[in-house]
Amino acid sequence: MRKINKKVTFDDLMPLITAKLGTEGIVRILSMGNSMYPLFSHKRDQVFLEQIDISNLKKYDMILYQRDSGQYVLHRIVGIGEKGFILRGDAQTVNEYPIREDQVIAKVSGFVRKGREHSCDEALYRLYVLVWTHTVLLRRIYRKGKSILRKIV
């Protein structure tokens, strides 16, 4: 029997993910991309998405949402403004705003990192979130300095 390899996009999987969220309330997916690095590594770690009530979302929650361009993104809420959520990936230093409630698909309730399962309620994880989100200015300065040094060298 011949094996057929077919590339499946996240867009192809969204109806299945949405259906499973609707019936079971939770789904486990592979982390794709680098915007949540260093917490998640591309195609190594997994996240548990759960169906949520939008009114229960708060600062520091990670959510899966769909941009107006159609792209699906997993980022962290770093604030809530008048027009929607203020989001930023852990590997990024620039906020994305506004993300409307109708763009939100699910919330991350836990994850598997380097083969070990974690809850977003763990104290060590919450400490990571506080430190990482509040050092964005230092990371901007570091990146700028690194860029300048590369140009000099």
Topology (CATH level 3) of domain 10-152: Umud Fragment, subunit A (2.10.109)
pTM of the model: 0.85
Question: How far apart (Å, rounded) are the C-alpha atoms in residues 53 and 56?
Answer: 6
CB neighbourhood size of 99 (10 A): 24
Please say whether the beta carbons of 26 and 49 come within 8 A.
yes
Per-residue pLDDT tens digits of the chain, which is 153 residues long: 677 777 778 888 888 898 999 899 999 999 999 999 999 999 999 999 999 889 999 999 999 999 999 999 999 999 999 999 999 999 998 999 999 999 999 999 999 999 999 999 999 999 999 999 999 888 888 878 888 888 887
Ordered by start, the domain boundaries in the chain are: 10-152
